[in-house]
Amino acid sequence: MSPTVLIVEDDRRIAALVAKNLEASGFKTVSVFRGDEAEQAVSKHAPSLVVLDVMLPGVDGLEVLRRLRRRHATPVLLLTARNTETDKVLGFEIGADDYLTKPFGTRELVARVRALLRRSSGATVGDEQILRRGELEIDGARRRVTLKNQEVEVTTLEFDLLAFLAARPGRVFSREALMDQVWGEGRVVDERSIDSLVSRLRRKLEPEPSSPRYLQTVWGAGYRFNEHPDSEGGGEDP
């Protein structure tokens, strides 16, 4: 079955162009043109990915993203005409998985969609499909995270970062190395995007995010997964 992509874009010309190119590449598409239609469309169509414009009438794209992240971990590719660092970091902080700045090439958009879907459906934890770290369990085949036997909703990028570090406990990785691992060579993000991912994961996993038990900061070097997560946290917020 072909993956369904939900396009949330108020410019109908751009929405039609995006839909045409995605459908030519084998995807099904559904388009809505207002932010306040997006959440209902996600519930109705259960898309594999959402292409979301930031500048929308009614409810803007960042607010749409906030609402989606309360209930859904569906990968989201942001489209933005604003190229400032603050907007990009805010998008990742809220829960975006990737972004494209307008104007963009349709080939690049299709490539980004394919890459996000590939990451969201593939195992990343290596030969050991289920990792158990203290009360935390990471299932690579199902891309599922549970904490104290309760499932934790994580996005594609959050899962990739957590699984990569948890598979290598105690090893310290620089932000640069983690960006290469999570976004790949074609990334357009900066180091603050990794900080945003870590902060989001801490809010979901840590009883005390200011004293993290799992994802720890190594000042001046980067991040590591605690080798002894059953002990008291010892890392610090970035």
pLDDT in tens, the chain (238 residues): 789 999 999 999 999 999 999 999 999 999 999 999 999 999 999 999 999 999 898 899 999 999 998 888 889 999 987 666 666 777 888 888 888 888 889 999 999 898 888 877 654 555 457 888 889 999 887 888 999 999 998 888 889 899 999 999 999 999 888 888 877 765 556 677 788 889 889 989 987 867 888 999 999 899 999 988 876 544 444 4
Which CATH architecture best describes the domain 130-225? Orthogonal Bundle (1.10)
Per-residue tokens: 131: 């990792």
Report CA dihedral (107, 45, 97, 71) to the nearest 10 degrees.
Answer: 170
- Determine contact, residues 33/7, Cβ cutoff 8 Å: no
Give the dihedral sign, CA 166/155/101/110: positive
Please state at what angle helix 38-45 crosses helix 61-71, rounded to 10 degrees.
40
Write down the pLDDT at residue 187.
57
SS3 content of the chain, % helix, strand, coil (to 5): 40, 20, 40
- Domain 4-121 and domain 130-225, same fold? Reply is no
**Tell me, what's the pLDDT at 176?**
86
Query: What DSSP assignment string belongs to 162-211?
Result: HHHHHTSTT--B-HHHHHHHHH-TT----HHHHHHHHHHHHHHH-SSTTS
Which residues lie closer than 8 Å to 50 by C-beta, 6 or more apart? 5, 6, 8, 38, 42, 68, 74, 75, 76, 77
What is the CATH number assigned to the segment(s) 4-121? 3.40.50.2300
Residue type, 58: G
- Among candidates 162, 161, 167, 166, which has minimal Cα distance to 184? 161
Q: What is the pLDDT of residue 237?
A: 47
Give residue 238's pLDDT: 43
CB 98 within 8 A of CB 112: yes
**Tokens standing for residue 37:** 């239609």
Domain segments of the chain as ranges: 4-121, 130-225
Residue 34's pLDDT is 94
Pairwise CA distance, residues 18 & 39, whole Å? 20
**Rounded to 5°, angle at Cα 232 from 229 and 234:** 90
What span, in angstroms and rounded, lies between the C-alpha atoms of 128 and 138?
Answer: 10
Distance CA 186, CA 184 (A): 6
What is residue 83's predicted lDDT score, i.e. its pLDDT?
Answer: 62
